[in-house]
Structure 1
Amino acid sequence: MAHRLTVIGTGYLGATHAACMADLGFEVLGLDVDAERIARLAAGDLPFYEPGLEPLLRRGLESGRLRFTTSYDEAAEFGDVHFLCVGTPQKAGEYAADLAYVEEAVTRLAARLRRPCLVVGKSTVPVGTADRLARRIAELAPVGGDAVLAWNPEFLREGFACKDTLHPDRIVVGLPADQGAAGHAEKVLREVYAPMLAEGTPFVVADYPTSELVKVSANAFLATKISFINAMAEVCEAAHADVTKLSEALSYDDRIGGRFLGPGLGFGGGCLPKDIRAFMARAGELGVDQALTFLREVDEINIRRRIRMVDLARELLGGSFIGRTVGVLGAAFKPDSDDVRDSPALDVAATIRGQGGRVTVFDPRAMDNARRAQPALAYGESALAAARGAHVVLLLTEWSEFRRMDPADLAEVVAERNIVDGRNALDPERWRSAGWTYRALGRP
């Protein structure tokens, strides 16, 4: 008999995991305390944009394999395997992760566990959290030691979440020290992930702390690589060199590779910034803060890119934004997403408005979220509308429709042909030959 799955928390991670597991044939019950979110999901309405996910959601609902609830009692009774997909945002005014939502979810679920089950943490948490939560479950669960905790970090990329769930590049499971419990948890997870394992996906078995470190270590490495090439962009600007050619040359070195070596405005979103900060905070608590001091500079390089983008735009306008109109293309932190959390694009737009510029923003998917996050900005209904009357246009999120823009079409609506390419996504010669003054981060 197939395991019945619950997914606790139906945000980006949870909704994706629930829909994908249902598509694999499992009976899945998604749980969230947000009744409005649950109602939308139950109606087949995805509360965020992710390519390919909404059809999976609707297919699961129509098949009857996927349902949603706000009841912990129902979830505890239903599930053989409970996936914890609750958010761990950054604490206000601190670097550390806020574990309140995870701890509340575990407490409420554990108190209702009356039959043997496996609880599987997928949330990104500071190392040491799983061991503490395992003790909490053992104390609270009526079934006692027959409620076992495993840790199974997620590695989703926004824009590729369905692929990353259904065809992951690796599966990591952190198991308890007790051999009997560990053997049972591994067996169950191998059964749940059998379709992925049949494709040859590596299955890495570790202990709790190692599994907790995998996600934050991967994010720290990725952030470091992005900030490295952006640090080189700073040097290139000072030396009148071209960082895009530097990046290309580096990419042919097998030891380095070209992925995520694209210079530009830097990273944002709900994971990388808060995860590297939480990692630094946890290292300090463990007394090894010196091991991760380099991440502070990684973070600062990333923030400096935003400042430099504002400076470049101001330079093109003769030193001031006051009385000038700025068209901003992009609000999401990356293309194929509507996520504006810690978005470099939206941060730059708001900063310019704060310095006196009249700013109009357009994004193909993130307009609603952008309006909620920055209601004082103006918003256009298209790229041309955002650029109308602009003295400078900023490309800040590299959506494909922005890459394909015709310089001549844009020239017809702007006040001055000035463009700053924050993602090195455009062909400089094409734009310059159309009469534009083209500037980009890290290029002459």
Structure 2
Amino acid sequence: MDLDRNKPVFNRLGPQNDTRQQRVCFQWRAGKCTRQQCPFLHRELPFPRHQQQQYSQSQSFGNGNHTASSSSSKRGHGGFTDDHLLPRRNPTFTNSSTWGRAGGGGGGGVSRAVVRKTDKLCKYWVQGNCSFGDNCRFLHSWSTGDCFSLLTQLQGHQKVVTGIAWPSGSDKLYTGSTDDTVRVWDCQSGQCAGVIDLAAEVGCILSEGPWIFVGLPNIVKAWNTQTTTDLGLSGPVGQVHSLVVGNDLLFAGVQDGSILAWKFNAAANCFEPAASLRGHTLAVVTLVVGANRLYSGSMDHSIRVWSLETLQCVQTLTEHTSVVMSVLCWDQFLISCSLDSTVKVWVATESGNLDVTYTHNEEYGVLALCGMHDADAKPVLLCSCNDNSIRVYDLPSFSERGKIFAKQEVRSIQIGPGGLFFTGDGTGEVRVWNWLAEPKAST
């Protein structure tokens, strides 16, 4: 029933059956409502609990238990191991039909989808001039949910962050950007400890043992953090977009569609060309190794599966309809994302070929994936989307845990030791996050 605004309105601070009367008075927000019996609310609607929680920030993200030595990495220091870079405690999802079902994630049995009034970031707060302050109905926070907190922000890069690496055993964090630099951050103070000007856009960064690899146009730079060895690996034609290590080989995905491989010669202290994998028709933008296979995603919309023993392509996956931006190995599954706004979960059939067992749809294109475990050792998936946000999902249910917001798109997500993870966005800002233990229900 419509409400005649000329009639008296009582109990406007209480619940209303007519949802239109739950609107907050715009004039009251501005501090100048003169109506004696205003038909709109003279208070803010209650915020979800996660918006009321205040997170403390710290300028140090490497102290306490967050030391590089606490990482469970098994990478060696004299070369490479066959570690295929999966999360530290791999979940076992024996029934592929549980993907996408609420309650199927992490063994918890209950969906934890986040319910909230609004999850839109206040653009005026981002600019530092929201006049409504705590009364604003939009988010004044870089995240929603109560499972992680922002520790600190690392500012210095001028353009998009394309790679983040924390070498095992090191107290330094390395970040690369299309502003032609690699920045080195002190993990104790959170301050920039050095800037390396490479005079070319950084396409990716990888740490393996004592080595830092940086993908640049027409070359891969290799630095040994223990011996200060500085090497240049030639051969790529165009920008190097992705790097990964597997079966004692370093692989690079290149702009011309090729995948180049080098093997480390310890006696000569150099990397020697080992192979060139051909098949993609456009740039290779993502690589991952798992289950004795190399998986490559490309701008040609396909994923190719390569045998690490023969270096031959054994299968081509063509279910995506746009650029394949990221691939992730997790237990017996392959997870991929694309600018076609989907995340696909692949599982091996009896024949050994991969088939899609579940497709998760997003409203926007998906730029990057990162799988990890929360503070309670439950598997979660971070999906960076083309609307400047990261969705955080339980696995395998894909129940939403929360969101992370950025000023521009997040292209880099990296796991750190001790419950830390890092995100780098299009403005050049790197943020350090920490997983929080799930609140226990009161008895």
- What TM-score comes out, normalization by structure 1 length? 0.23
Q: Of the two structures, which has the highest relative contact order with CA contacts closer than 8 Å and spacing of 6 or more?
A: 2
Of Structure 1 and Structure 2, which has the larger fraction of its residues in strand? Answer: 2
Of Structure 1 and Structure 2, which has the larger fraction of its residues in helix? Answer: 1
- What TM-score comes out, normalization by structure 2 length? 0.23
